[in-house]
Amino acid sequence: MRGQRYAVEVVETRLGWIEYCSIGQGAPVLFLHGGHSNCKERLCLKGFDREKYQLIIPSRPGYGNTPLDNNRTPREAAALIAGLIKYMGLESVVLYAISAGGPTAIAFAASFPGMTRKLILASAVTKEWLNKNERMYRVASLMFRPAIQGYSWTLIRAMSRLFPSITAKQFFCQFSSVKPHPLEKSDRFELIAALNRYSSNEGFLNDINQQGVDEEIACVNCPTLIIHSAHDNSVPIDHALFAKRMIENSRIEILLNEWGHLIWIGSDSEEAFRKIEQFIGE
C-alpha cells in the first residue's frame, strides 16, 4: 500500500449521491463495509494485490459522505451501489460484504445477478441481527445514535491514545470469545488505527434496525463464499450457518482465529486471506 494514493470521490447517480474510494487495477472487487466504517476502511484490503485487483469501497448510506435519504433498506442501498457500478463503467464485480454490510450485499446479489460475479460474506450479518429487548441493542442505540455518536467516538479515540492496551483489551472482548490474554503490539496498533477512522453517523442506527433479508437470500444463486469465525462475539456464527442453508451455490469456511469477528487481524489472518483469494481466482 505504501506509495499508493487512495482517491475519495463523491459522485451523483440516478438514485442519489455516493462516496467511494478506488485503488489498484485488474478484476474489480467491491467491498461493503461493516458498521461504524466508511470508504476509508483499510483492514479488509489486506492480502489483496493492487496490481491484480481494483479495490472499490463505497460508503454505505448513512456513513461517510453518502446520505441516508431514501436508501434505508438493503434493497434501496443495493440499487444505489448498482448505480455506482454503472457510473464507473463496470459490467460486474466480486462483492465482498463485511459484518453489517451483509444485508445490502445479499439484496444486491438477489436483485442484480448479472452484475454479481461472486459473493463473499465475511463475518457477515445475514438475518435479523440485534433483538430490541437485548442489552447490546439498547446500549448501541444509545451510544451511537446520530446526536451522540460523535462524542462517543471522540471518547473512544482519546482512550485509545492514553490507554492503548486497555482499549484494545476491551474491544477484543467485544469481537472475540477467546479468553482474554496479552495481545500482540502489532495487533493493537491495527485495531486502534481502525478505530481512529470510525464514525457511526446515521448508518449504524439504521443497520441495527434492519428487519433481515430472508426473501432476498433465497434468491441468491451466484457462487458464494461464507467465511466466519467460530469465536465471533459480534455476529454469531448462526448467521453463517443460516446463509449456507439458504444459498444453494455456497460453501462455508469456519475459522478458529484469535480475533473472532475481525478475521483481518492477527498472525492467523493469513488463512482467511488465502481462502478468499483462492475463491476469487477459481
Backbone phi, psi, residue 77, to 5°? -65, -40
pLDDT, averaged across the chain: 95
Tell me the average pLDDT across 128-153: 92
Written as one string, the DSSP assignment of 98-156 is: EGGGHHHHHHHHHH-GGGEEEEEEES---S----TTSHHHHHHHHHTSHHHHHHHHHHH
Least confident of 1-10, 201-210, 257-266: 1-10
Residue 202's pLDDT is what?
96
pLDDT for 5 equals 61
Q: Is the pLDDT assigned to residue 3 strictly greater than 80?
A: no
Mean pLDDT in residue range 19-25 = 96
Is position 160 annotated as part of the catalytic site?
Answer: no
Specify the DSSP element, H or E, that contains 215. helix 214-217
CATH class of 7-129+212-281: alpha beta
Q: Using CA atoms, how far apart are residues 136 and 171, in angstroms rounded to an integer?
A: 14
- Whether the pLDDT of residue 63 is over 60: the answer is yes
The answer, as to whether pTM is greater than 0.85, is: yes
* pLDDT > 90? residue 148: yes
- Span 208-254, pLDDT tens digits: 999 889 999 999 999 999 999 999 999 999 999 999 999 999 999 99
Task: Assign 4 a pLDDT band (cuts: 50, 70, 90).
Answer: low
**Spatial separation of the C-alpha atoms in residues 99 and 42, rounded to whole Å:** 14
**What per-residue confidence (pLDDT) applies to 275?**
97
pLDDT confidence band for 133 (50 / 70 / 90): confident
pLDDT value of residue 135: 87
DSSP at 232: B
Distance between CA atoms of residues 23 and 53, nearest Å: 8
Q: Which of 22, 37, 59, 99 is catalytic?
A: 99
For CA atoms 15, 72, 58, 56, give the dihedral sign: negative
